[in-house]
Protein backbone atom coordinates (compact mmCIF):
# COMPACT_ATOMS: atom_id res chain seq x y z
CA UNK A 1 0.00 0.00 0.00
CA UNK A 2 1.37 3.42 -0.95
CA UNK A 3 1.47 6.44 1.37
CA UNK A 4 -1.30 8.04 -0.74
CA UNK A 5 -3.52 4.96 -0.45
CA UNK A 6 -2.94 4.81 3.30
CA UNK A 7 -3.72 8.52 3.67
CA UNK A 8 -7.07 8.03 1.92
CA UNK A 9 -7.97 5.07 4.13
CA UNK A 10 -7.05 6.93 7.32
CA UNK A 11 -9.04 10.00 6.23
CA UNK A 12 -12.06 7.82 5.45
CA UNK A 13 -11.77 6.05 8.81
CA UNK A 14 -11.55 9.28 10.81
CA UNK A 15 -14.56 10.73 8.94
CA UNK A 16 -16.47 13.94 9.70
CA UNK A 17 -14.13 16.23 7.79
CA UNK A 18 -16.04 19.26 9.16
CA UNK A 19 -13.84 19.09 12.27
CA UNK A 20 -10.66 21.10 11.80
CA UNK A 21 -8.69 19.04 14.33
CA UNK A 22 -9.42 15.46 15.21
CA UNK A 23 -7.39 12.87 17.10
CA UNK A 24 -8.63 9.29 17.22
CA UNK A 25 -7.60 6.61 19.68
CA UNK A 26 -8.45 3.32 17.99
CA UNK A 27 -9.30 0.02 19.62
CA UNK A 28 -5.93 -1.35 18.53
CA UNK A 29 -3.38 -1.16 21.35
CA UNK A 30 -1.28 1.99 21.10
CA UNK A 31 -2.61 3.01 17.66
CA UNK A 32 -3.66 6.64 17.18
CA UNK A 33 -4.70 8.70 14.17
CA UNK A 34 -4.47 12.46 13.71
CA UNK A 35 -6.18 14.73 11.21
CA UNK A 36 -5.82 18.51 11.10
CA UNK A 37 -7.23 20.74 8.36
CA UNK A 38 -5.27 23.93 8.95
CA UNK A 39 -1.80 25.12 9.97
CA UNK A 40 -1.43 25.92 13.66
CA UNK A 41 0.77 27.97 15.97
CA UNK A 42 3.16 26.20 18.31
CA UNK A 43 1.34 24.36 21.11
CA UNK A 44 3.05 22.98 24.19
CA UNK A 45 2.45 19.30 24.91
CA UNK A 46 4.20 16.19 26.19
CA UNK A 47 5.29 13.47 23.80
CA UNK A 48 5.82 9.93 25.01
CA UNK A 49 7.90 7.40 23.03
CA UNK A 50 6.15 6.94 19.68
CA UNK A 51 6.61 6.45 15.96
CA UNK A 52 4.62 8.99 13.94
CA UNK A 53 4.24 8.31 10.22
CA UNK A 54 3.30 11.41 8.23
CA UNK A 55 0.83 10.63 5.45
CA UNK A 56 -0.05 14.15 4.33
CA UNK A 57 0.97 17.71 5.20
CA UNK A 58 3.94 18.84 7.31
CA UNK A 59 4.67 19.21 11.02
CA UNK A 60 7.38 20.86 13.11
CA UNK A 61 8.39 19.80 16.62
CA UNK A 62 10.79 21.71 18.86
CA UNK A 63 12.38 21.27 22.27
CA UNK A 64 14.95 23.68 23.63
CA UNK A 65 17.04 24.95 20.74
CA UNK A 66 16.41 21.83 18.66
CA UNK A 67 13.73 21.61 15.97
CA UNK A 68 12.74 18.96 13.42
CA UNK A 69 10.23 19.14 10.58
CA UNK A 70 8.85 16.20 8.63
CA UNK A 71 6.58 15.76 5.64
CA UNK A 72 4.86 13.12 3.54
CA UNK A 73 6.48 9.69 3.77
CA UNK A 74 8.75 10.74 6.63
CA UNK A 75 8.41 9.61 10.20
CA UNK A 76 9.32 10.94 13.63
CA UNK A 77 10.72 8.67 16.33
CA UNK A 78 10.42 9.94 19.90
CA UNK A 79 12.58 7.88 22.26
CA UNK A 80 12.05 9.64 25.62
CA UNK A 81 9.25 11.52 27.40
CA UNK A 82 9.64 15.10 26.18
CA UNK A 83 7.85 18.41 26.82
CA UNK A 84 7.78 19.89 23.32
CA UNK A 85 6.25 22.66 21.23
CA UNK A 86 4.62 21.41 18.03
CA UNK A 87 2.79 22.94 15.11
CA UNK A 88 1.28 21.95 11.78
CA UNK A 89 3.05 23.89 9.04
CA UNK A 90 1.16 22.57 6.00
CA UNK A 91 -2.52 21.56 5.94
CA UNK A 92 -5.81 22.57 4.34
CA UNK A 93 -9.42 21.31 4.28
CA UNK A 94 -8.69 19.80 0.85
CA UNK A 95 -5.39 18.20 1.94
CA UNK A 96 -5.32 17.94 5.74
CA UNK A 97 -2.39 16.85 7.82
CA UNK A 98 -2.77 13.09 8.38
CA UNK A 99 -0.65 10.81 10.52
CA UNK A 100 -0.56 7.35 12.04
CA UNK A 101 1.01 7.12 15.51
CA UNK A 102 2.06 3.97 17.35
CA UNK A 103 3.06 4.12 21.01
CA UNK A 104 6.35 2.36 21.71
CA UNK A 105 6.71 -0.41 24.28
CA UNK A 106 10.15 -0.39 25.93
CA UNK A 107 9.71 -4.00 27.05
CA UNK A 108 9.25 -5.14 23.44
CA UNK A 109 12.31 -3.13 22.38
CA UNK A 110 14.43 -4.70 25.11
CA UNK A 111 13.34 -8.21 24.18
CA UNK A 112 14.13 -7.59 20.51
CA UNK A 113 17.43 -5.91 21.34
CA UNK A 114 18.60 -9.09 23.04
CA UNK A 115 17.79 -11.07 19.89
CA UNK A 116 19.33 -8.54 17.50
CA UNK A 117 22.57 -8.21 19.47
CA UNK A 118 25.33 -6.25 17.75
CA UNK A 119 23.87 -6.54 14.24
CA UNK A 120 21.92 -3.25 14.52
CA UNK A 121 23.64 -0.13 13.17
CA UNK A 122 25.23 2.19 15.72
CA UNK A 123 24.66 5.94 15.82
CA UNK A 124 26.28 7.93 18.60
CA UNK A 125 24.83 11.28 17.50
CA UNK A 126 21.09 10.55 17.54
CA UNK A 127 18.62 12.68 19.48
CA UNK A 128 15.39 11.90 21.27
CA UNK A 129 13.57 13.42 18.26
CA UNK A 130 14.70 11.84 14.98
CA UNK A 131 13.17 12.06 11.50
CA UNK A 132 13.86 10.30 8.22
CA UNK A 133 12.27 8.94 5.06
CA UNK A 134 10.36 5.89 6.23
CA UNK A 135 11.56 2.51 5.00
CA UNK A 136 8.98 0.72 2.80
CA UNK A 137 8.94 -2.30 5.13
CA UNK A 138 8.04 -0.09 8.11
CA UNK A 139 5.29 1.65 6.11
CA UNK A 140 3.91 -1.76 5.16
CA UNK A 141 3.95 -2.96 8.77
CA UNK A 142 2.14 0.15 10.00
CA UNK A 143 -0.39 -0.19 7.15
CA UNK A 144 -1.15 -3.75 8.24
CA UNK A 145 -1.44 -2.63 11.87
CA UNK A 146 -3.96 0.03 10.87
CA UNK A 147 -5.90 -2.47 8.74
CA UNK A 148 -6.67 -4.47 11.90
CA UNK A 149 -9.24 -1.83 12.95
CA UNK A 150 -11.75 -3.51 10.61
CA UNK A 151 -11.42 -7.04 12.00
CA UNK A 152 -11.58 -7.56 15.80
CA UNK A 153 -10.71 -11.27 15.59
CA UNK A 154 -7.68 -10.70 13.39
CA UNK A 155 -6.68 -7.82 15.66
CA UNK A 156 -6.63 -10.05 18.74
CA UNK A 157 -4.41 -12.59 17.00
CA UNK A 158 -2.21 -10.45 14.75
CA UNK A 159 -1.81 -7.14 16.61
CA UNK A 160 0.91 -8.38 19.00
CA UNK A 161 2.86 -9.90 16.09
CA UNK A 162 2.67 -6.82 13.86
CA UNK A 163 3.45 -4.53 16.81
CA UNK A 164 6.58 -6.56 17.47
CA UNK A 165 7.55 -6.25 13.80
CA UNK A 166 7.11 -2.47 13.96
CA UNK A 167 9.45 -2.31 16.97
CA UNK A 168 11.99 -4.49 15.19
CA UNK A 169 11.98 -2.26 12.12
CA UNK A 170 12.39 0.82 14.30
CA UNK A 171 15.45 -0.67 15.98
CA UNK A 172 16.92 -1.28 12.51
CA UNK A 173 15.82 2.07 11.05
CA UNK A 174 18.29 4.77 10.03
CA UNK A 175 16.70 7.16 12.54
CA UNK A 176 16.34 4.57 15.32
CA UNK A 177 19.77 5.37 16.77
CA UNK A 178 18.52 6.73 20.09
CA UNK A 179 16.23 3.72 20.57
CA UNK A 180 19.25 1.48 20.06
CA UNK A 181 21.30 3.49 22.55
CA UNK A 182 18.44 3.28 25.02
CA UNK A 183 18.75 -0.51 24.93
CA UNK A 184 22.48 -0.60 25.77
CA UNK A 185 23.21 -1.46 29.38
CA UNK A 186 24.21 1.65 31.35
CA UNK A 187 24.29 3.81 28.22
CA UNK A 188 23.93 7.55 28.63
CA UNK A 189 20.52 7.29 26.94
CA UNK A 190 19.24 4.78 29.50
CA UNK A 191 20.67 6.76 32.43
CA UNK A 192 19.05 9.94 31.17
CA UNK A 193 15.79 8.03 30.71
CA UNK A 194 15.87 7.03 34.39
CA UNK A 195 16.56 10.63 35.37
CA UNK A 196 13.62 11.78 33.26
CA UNK A 197 11.42 9.29 35.11
CA UNK A 198 12.57 10.79 38.42
CA UNK A 199 11.87 14.35 37.25
CA UNK A 200 8.42 13.43 35.94
CA UNK A 201 7.53 11.73 39.21
CA UNK A 202 8.92 14.45 41.48
CA UNK A 203 8.66 17.60 39.36
CA UNK A 204 7.09 19.45 42.31
CA UNK A 205 10.18 18.85 44.46
CA UNK A 206 13.39 20.88 44.62
CA UNK A 207 15.63 18.68 42.49
CA UNK A 208 19.26 19.49 41.80
CA UNK A 209 21.50 18.58 38.90
CA UNK A 210 24.05 17.23 41.38
CA UNK A 211 21.47 14.95 42.99
CA UNK A 212 20.14 13.68 39.65
CA UNK A 213 23.68 13.17 38.38
CA UNK A 214 24.63 11.17 41.46
CA UNK A 215 21.67 8.84 40.98
CA UNK A 216 22.64 8.44 37.32
CA UNK A 217 26.22 7.59 38.26
CA UNK A 218 27.63 10.57 36.36
CA UNK A 219 29.44 13.78 37.22
CA UNK A 220 27.18 16.88 37.27
CA UNK A 221 28.85 18.36 34.19
CA UNK A 222 28.67 15.10 32.23
CA UNK A 223 25.06 14.54 33.27
CA UNK A 224 24.08 18.08 32.26
CA UNK A 225 25.82 17.78 28.87
CA UNK A 226 24.36 14.36 28.02
CA UNK A 227 20.87 15.35 29.19
CA UNK A 228 20.90 18.33 26.85
CA UNK A 229 22.49 16.33 24.01
CA UNK A 230 19.74 13.71 24.22
CA UNK A 231 16.68 15.81 25.03
CA UNK A 232 17.60 19.21 23.60
CA UNK A 233 17.05 20.95 26.95
CA UNK A 234 18.61 21.12 30.41
CA UNK A 235 17.44 19.07 33.42
CA UNK A 236 16.09 22.09 35.30
CA UNK A 237 14.38 23.52 32.22
CA UNK A 238 12.81 20.11 31.66
CA UNK A 239 11.47 20.18 35.22
CA UNK A 240 10.20 23.74 34.74
CA UNK A 241 8.42 22.73 31.53
CA UNK A 242 6.74 19.82 33.29
CA UNK A 243 5.58 22.12 36.09
CA UNK A 244 4.17 24.67 33.66
CA UNK A 245 2.45 22.02 31.54
CA UNK A 246 0.74 20.53 34.58
CA UNK A 247 -0.21 23.98 35.86
CA UNK A 248 -1.83 24.83 32.53
CA UNK A 249 -3.85 21.63 32.68
CA UNK A 250 -4.98 22.41 36.23
CA UNK A 251 -6.05 25.93 35.25
CA UNK A 252 -7.70 25.12 31.93
CA UNK A 253 -9.23 21.75 32.68
CA UNK A 254 -9.67 21.50 36.47
CA UNK A 255 -10.61 25.08 37.31
CA UNK A 256 -7.69 25.86 39.62
CA UNK A 257 -7.01 29.51 40.36
CA UNK A 258 -3.67 30.86 39.10
CA UNK A 259 -2.12 31.00 42.57
CA UNK A 260 -3.44 27.55 43.55
CA UNK A 261 -2.01 25.99 40.38
CA UNK A 262 1.34 27.70 40.97
CA UNK A 263 1.69 26.30 44.47
CA UNK A 264 0.32 22.90 43.44
CA UNK A 265 3.16 22.36 40.96
CA UNK A 266 5.91 23.58 43.26
CA UNK A 267 6.25 27.34 42.74
CA UNK A 268 6.74 29.45 45.86
CA UNK A 269 6.07 32.74 44.07
CA UNK A 270 2.89 33.29 42.05
CA UNK A 271 4.54 36.30 40.41
CA UNK A 272 7.47 34.23 39.15
CA UNK A 273 5.03 31.54 38.03
CA UNK A 274 2.97 34.02 35.99
CA UNK A 275 6.09 35.46 34.40
CA UNK A 276 7.45 32.04 33.35
CA UNK A 277 4.00 30.85 32.27
CA UNK A 278 3.58 33.87 29.99
CA UNK A 279 7.05 33.35 28.54
CA UNK A 280 6.32 29.71 27.71
CA UNK A 281 2.72 29.93 26.45
CA UNK A 282 2.67 33.48 25.08
CA UNK A 283 -0.10 34.75 27.35
CA UNK A 284 -0.69 35.05 31.11
CA UNK A 285 -2.23 32.14 33.01
CA UNK A 286 -5.48 34.02 33.67
CA UNK A 287 -6.23 33.78 29.94
CA UNK A 288 -6.52 30.00 30.28
CA UNK A 289 -9.00 30.02 33.17
CA UNK A 290 -11.90 27.69 32.30
CA UNK A 291 -10.70 27.39 28.71
CA UNK A 292 -9.74 23.92 27.47
CA UNK A 293 -6.09 23.83 26.38
CA UNK A 294 -4.14 21.41 24.23
CA UNK A 295 -2.04 20.18 27.13
CA UNK A 296 -2.89 16.49 27.26
CA UNK A 297 -0.17 13.89 27.26
CA UNK A 298 -1.56 12.22 24.17
CA UNK A 299 0.70 10.30 21.82
CA UNK A 300 -1.31 11.57 18.85
CA UNK A 301 1.43 13.82 17.54
pLDDT value at residue 119: 62
Range of the domain at 259: 237-288
Shared domain check, 221 and 86: no
Mean pLDDT over 198-214 rounds to 94
Domain final position from 164, 182, 200: 182
Where residue 255 falls (left for φ over 0; alpha for ψ -120 to 50; beta otherwise) is left
Confidence category of residue 227, pLDDT binned at 50, 70, 90: very high
Shared domain check, 125 and 22: yes
CA-to-CA dists, residue 233 to 14, 124, 130, 146, 274, angstroms: 35, 18, 15, 34, 21
Question: Is pLDDT of 291 > 70?
Answer: no
Question: Is pLDDT of 299 > 90?
Answer: no
Where residue 289 falls (left for φ over 0; alpha for ψ -120 to 50; beta otherwise) is beta
Q: How many domains does the chain have?
A: 3
Task: Provide the 10 A C-beta neighbour count for residue 281.
Answer: 21
Domain final position from 182, 199, 220: 182
Residue 298 inside a domain? The answer is no
Shared domain check, 201 and 100: no
The answer to whether 209 touches 166, Cβ cutoff 8 Å, is no
Q: pTM (2 decimals)? A: 0.89
pLDDT value at residue 232: 85
Shared domain check, 125 and 102: yes
Residue 300 inside a domain? The answer is no
Shared domain check, 246 and 104: no
Task: Mean pLDDT check: name the lowest of 60-69, 113-122, 178-187, 211-220.
Answer: 113-122
Shared domain check, 98 and 19: yes
**SS3 of 119, please?**
helix
**What backbone phi and psi angles, to 5 degrees, belong to 102?**
-125, 125
pLDDT value at residue 230: 87
- The larger pLDDT score, comparing residue 258 to residue 17, is at 258
pLDDT value at residue 146: 97
Q: What is the pLDDT of residues 266-284, one digit of tens each?
A: 999 999 999 999 999 889 9
pLDDT value at residue 122: 64
Confidence category of residue 18, pLDDT binned at 50, 70, 90: low
Shared domain check, 42 and 23: yes
Confidence category of residue 20, pLDDT binned at 50, 70, 90: confident
Residue 296 inside a domain? The answer is no
Residue 162 inside a domain? The answer is yes
- The larger pLDDT score, comparing residue 163 to residue 295, is at 163
pLDDT value at residue 21: 73
Residue 176 inside a domain? The answer is yes
For helices 209-216 and 220-231, give the axis angle rounded to 10 degrees. Answer: 90
Q: What is the pLDDT of residues 235-266, one digit of tens each?
A: 999 999 999 999 999 998 888 999 999 999 99
Mean pLDDT over 178-189 rounds to 87
State the distance between the two ends of the chain, measured CA to CA, in whole angstroms. 22
Distance of alpha carbon 14 from alpha carbon 248, whole angstroms: 28
Domain final position from 232, 267, 296: 232
Distance of alpha carbon 109 from alpha carbon 177, whole angstroms: 13
Shared domain check, 138 and 24: yes
Question: Is pLDDT of 293 > 70?
Answer: no
**SS3 of 121, please?**
coil
pLDDT over 70, % of the chain: 92
Residue 249 inside a domain? The answer is yes
Distance of alpha carbon 25 from alpha carbon 188, whole angstroms: 33
Residue 283 sits in a domain of what CATH number?
Answer: 1.10.10.60
Distance of alpha carbon 101 from alpha carbon 87, whole angstroms: 16
Shared domain check, 91 and 172: yes
Shared domain check, 150 and 13: yes
The answer to whether 123 touches 63, Cβ cutoff 8 Å, is no
Distance of alpha carbon 170 from alpha carbon 52, whole angstroms: 11
Per the prediction, the chain carries an average pLDDT of 90
Q: What is the pLDDT of residues 28-83, one digit of tens each?
A: 989 999 999 999 998 888 999 999 999 999 999 998 888 999 999 999 999 999 99
Shared domain check, 210 and 136: no
Shared domain check, 218 and 242: no
Amino acid sequence: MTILDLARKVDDYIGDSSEMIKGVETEIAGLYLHRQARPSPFEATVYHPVICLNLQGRKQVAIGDRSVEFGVGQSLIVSHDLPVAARITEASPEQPYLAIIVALDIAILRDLSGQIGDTAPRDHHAGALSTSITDAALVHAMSRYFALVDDPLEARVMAPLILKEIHFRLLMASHGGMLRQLMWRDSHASRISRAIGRIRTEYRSSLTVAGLADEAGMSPSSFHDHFKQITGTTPLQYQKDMRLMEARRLIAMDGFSVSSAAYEVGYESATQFSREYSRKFGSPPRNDLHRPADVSENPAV
